[in-house]
């Protein structure tokens, strides 16, 4: 039996382990896995590890900020960068506007992505308010494949919801099969600390982590899990950054509660030492939650190894350091750190940073595939179409060359942003080839000239 394409001679890595085998692709799907397959085209994979395409379930592309600027990466540039880093599926955030429907927000974000994204994509809904009409709309969106809803416990007056409203959304999600995602920081306390810092004249970016302390996250995570327990609902904590917050997640999972959490590469690789950089350069690392003191990353790595943390996503939110007249960047916060656009770029570097962790003995190969590819697909209703090397799965296939080193730099990355938070870090391994639904997107370490377009993914309740 001949296939459209055979990926031949590589070592296949899945969340179950490693094995040798060829992959036969037909009609954009994996049709067979076995020895000595033949096809009209052959992709020689000898000497490489063959993995499922990565899934980044926390991105912010073409995201406006308060009417004053927009992220440097839109769906065209951000998705190309994702593919170059081995990520073939993203889930972005469609942000509802107060007084408007979720459907309107979804339509806006679909227009941003449709025909522009190179990787396949879905959306979470981000909710700034809760109404009876909105709760009913949740049911319709879940049936249509948008199954996750992000709520904020921070940013009073803009995005923050009270505990009662969070409980109402959780209760609704229990009935319709959706899941609540929570940004867990104690917003009112952060606001008090921020006002006090400004009153004292503490305006440089080095003070950013001081107004968002470890305890503000840990308390909010504890409260979020209590609300989910009362509602009998599943909950997913985004961008968890501290050992204390992880301890609450670990306790809940030990009690077999449906609690899930992600962390991000920045919390694994960087620390609050970045805020001591001279001048305004610390602004590059302003994000929420902020970078944490050394020692927290050790707990997070252990959480990934032990299964207390399920996913590594990026929270990719790229604002230029210098910016332009048309698209201002971090310099908006010169003289007032609270006005610095928050976020760091990372959509291109996630997979290689995690692979480097495998090379350093911090993760097993199987666990790498699990947290970067398989668990994101399972938790968000895309498995086994995504995140798997199985018959019937989409032929989203990544070849990692374990012998070629990759130097991370803003000079060579494909993200449309003028700095890289991991500048100068050299990973032991490089992305050699990327297929999305059986079609070349990256070939011999470079993006193809006219890559195919991604498709919108309707997700199942899980």
Cross-strand partners of 19: 12
Phi first, then psi: give them for residue 440, nearest 5 degrees: -65, 135
- Between CA 435 and CA 10 the distance in angstroms is 15
Q: Is residue 438 part of a domain?
A: yes
Report the pLDDT averaged over residues 66-86: 97
Specify whether 144 is located in the same domain as 74.
yes
Phi first, then psi: give them for residue 111, nearest 5 degrees: -65, -35
**Two tokens, residue 305:** 């190894």
DSSP annotation string for 26-43: ETTEEEEEESS-EEEEEE
Q: Is 1 a residue whose pLDDT tops 80? A: no
Q: Is residue 188 part of a domain?
A: yes
pTM of the entire structure? 0.98
pLDDT at 323: 86
Q: Is residue 378 part of a domain?
A: no
Q: Is 2 a residue whose pLDDT tops 90? A: no
**What is the enclosing helix (H) or strand (E) of 398?**
strand 397-407
Phi first, then psi: give them for residue 439, nearest 5 degrees: -110, 140
Q: Is 325 a residue whose pLDDT tops 90? A: no
Q: Bigger pLDDT: 312 or 323?
A: 312
Cross-strand partners of 2: 38
| CB distance 309 to 246 below 8 Å | yes
pLDDT at 391: 98
**Two tokens, residue 342:** 């928050």
Specify whether 244 is located in the same domain as 351.
yes
**What is the enclosing helix (H) or strand (E) of 233?**
none
Q: Is 284 exposed, middle or buried (0-12, 13-18, 19+ CB in 10 A)?
A: buried
Specify whether 30 is located in the same domain as 69.
no
Domain final residue pick, 366, 401, 424? 366
Interstrand relation of 54-59 and 87-95 (parallel, antiparallel or unpaired): parallel
Specify whether 196 is located in the same domain as 331.
yes
- Between CA 194 and CA 292 the distance in angstroms is 18
Task: Using alpha carbons, list the distances in angstroms from residue 272 to 103, 217, 345, 354, 363.
Answer: 39, 15, 17, 20, 23
The whole-chain average pLDDT of the chain stands at: 97
Cross-strand partners of 47: none
- Between CA 357 and CA 299 the distance in angstroms is 15
| CB distance 203 to 166 below 8 Å | no
Specify whether 165 is located in the same domain as 176.
yes
- Between CA 414 and CA 412 the distance in angstroms is 7
Centre a 10 Å sphere on the Cβ of residue 16 and count the other Cβ atoms it contains. Answer: 12
pLDDT at 286: 98
Report the pLDDT averaged over residues 185-200: 98
Q: How many domains does the chain have?
A: 2
- Between CA 462 and CA 460 the distance in angstroms is 6
Interstrand relation of 148-152 and 120-126 (parallel, antiparallel or unpaired): parallel
Q: Is 121 a residue whose pLDDT tops 80? A: yes
Long-range contacts for 161-165 (Cβ within 8 Å, ≥24 apart)?
161/127, 161/128, 161/129, 161/130, 163/223, 163/227, 165/129, 165/130
Specify whether 302 is located in the same domain as 348.
yes
Q: Is 275 a residue whose pLDDT tops 80? A: yes
Q: Give, in degrees to the nearest 5, the angle at Cα 304 between 298 and 306.
A: 100
Q: Is residue 6 part of a domain?
A: yes
Q: Is 139 exposed, middle or buried (0-12, 13-18, 19+ CB in 10 A)?
A: middle
Q: Is residue 318 part of a domain?
A: yes
Specify whether 187 is located in the same domain as 320.
yes
**What is the enclosing helix (H) or strand (E) of 318?**
none
pLDDT at 58: 98
Whose structure tokens read 């799965």?
393
At 168-190, the pLDDT tens digits run 999 999 999 999 999 999 999 99
pLDDT at 324: 87
CATH code, domain with 6:
2.30.40.10
Specify whether 105 is located in the same domain as 44.
no
Domain that holds residue 359: 54-366
Q: Is 122 a residue whose pLDDT tops 90? A: yes
Nearest Cα residue to 397 out of 367, 437, 370: 437
Percent above pLDDT 90 for the chain: 98
Q: Is residue 375 part of a domain?
A: no
Q: Is residue 116 part of a domain?
A: yes
DSSP annotation string for 119-167: SEEEEEEE-S---HHHHHHHHHHHHTT--EEEEESSSTTTTB--HHHHH
Report the pLDDT averaged over residues 17-40: 96
CATH code, domain with 343:
3.20.20.140
439 falls in which pLDDT band (50, 70, 90)?
very high
Determine the 3-state secondary structure of 381 from DSSP. Answer: coil
Nearest Cα residue to 403 out of 445, 441, 348, 442: 445
At 345-392, the pLDDT tens digits run 999 999 999 999 999 999 999 999 999 999 999 999 999 999 999 999
Specify whether 74 is located in the same domain as 182.
yes
Specify whether 135 is located in the same domain as 240.
yes
Report the pLDDT averaged over residues 201-220: 98
Domain final residue pick, 349, 366, 383? 366
Specify whether 131 is located in the same domain as 243.
yes
Q: Is residue 330 part of a domain?
A: yes
Whose structure tokens read 């609270």?
338
Specify whether 346 is located in the same domain as 434.
no
Cross-strand partners of 263: 312
């Amino acid at each position: 039996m001949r296939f459209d394409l055979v990926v031949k001679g590589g070592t296949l890595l899945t969340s179950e382990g490693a094995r040798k085998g060829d992959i036969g692709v037909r009609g954009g799907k994996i049709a067979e896995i076995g020895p000595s397959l033949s096809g009209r085209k052959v992709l020689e994979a000898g000497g490489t590890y063959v993995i499922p395409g990565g899934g980044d379930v926390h991105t912010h592309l073409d995201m406006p900020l308060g009417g004053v600027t927009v992220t440097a990466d839109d769906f065209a540039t951000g998705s190309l960068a994702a593919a170059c880093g081995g990520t073939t599926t993203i889930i972005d955030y469609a942000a509802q506007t107060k007084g408007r429907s979720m459907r309107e927000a979804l339509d806006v974000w679909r227009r941003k992505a449709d025909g522009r994204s190179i990787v396949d994509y879905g959306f979470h809904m981000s909710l700034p308010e809760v109404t009876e009409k909105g709760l009913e709309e949740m049911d319709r969106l879940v049936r249509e494949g948008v199954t996750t809803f992000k709520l904020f416990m921070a940013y009073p007056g803009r995005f923050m919801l009270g505990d009662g409203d969070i409980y109402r959304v959780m209760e609704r999600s229990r009935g319709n099969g959706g899941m609540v995602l929570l940004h867990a920081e104690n917003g009112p306390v952060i606001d008090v600390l921020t006002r006090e810092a400004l009153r004292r004249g503490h305006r440089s970016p080095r003070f950013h982590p001081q107004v968002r302390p470890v305890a503000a996250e840990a308390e909010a995570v504890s409260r979020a899990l209590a609300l989910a327990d009362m509602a009998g609902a599943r909950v997913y904590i985004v961008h968890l950054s501290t050992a204390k917050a992880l301890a609450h997640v670990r306790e809940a999972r030990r009690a077999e509660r449906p609690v899930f959490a992600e962390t991000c590469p920045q919390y694994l690789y960087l620390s609050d030492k970045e805020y001591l950089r001279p001048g305004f350069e610390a602004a590059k690392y302003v994000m929420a939650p902020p970078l944490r003191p050394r020692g927290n990353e050790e707990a997070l790595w252990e959480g990934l190894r032990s299964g207390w943390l399920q996913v590594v996503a990026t929270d990719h939110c790229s604002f230029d350091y210098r910016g332009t007249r048309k698209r201002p960047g971090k310099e908006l916060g010169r003289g007032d750190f609270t006005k610095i656009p928050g976020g760091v770029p990372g959509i291109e570097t996630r997979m290689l940073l995690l692979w480097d962790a495998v090379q350093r003995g911090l993760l097993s190969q199987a666990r790498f595939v699990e947290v970067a590819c398989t668990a994101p697909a399972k938790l968000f209703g895309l498995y086994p179409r995504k995140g798997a090397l199985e018959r019937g799965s989409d032929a989203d296939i990544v070849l990692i060359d374990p012998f070629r080193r990759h130097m991370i730099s803003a000079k060579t990355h494909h993200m449309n942003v003028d700095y890289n938070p991991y500048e100068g870090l050299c990973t032991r391994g490089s992305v050699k080839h990327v297929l999305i639904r059986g079609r070349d997107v990256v070939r011999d370490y470079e993006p193809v000239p006219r890559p195919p377009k991604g498709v919108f993914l309707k997700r199942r309740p899980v």
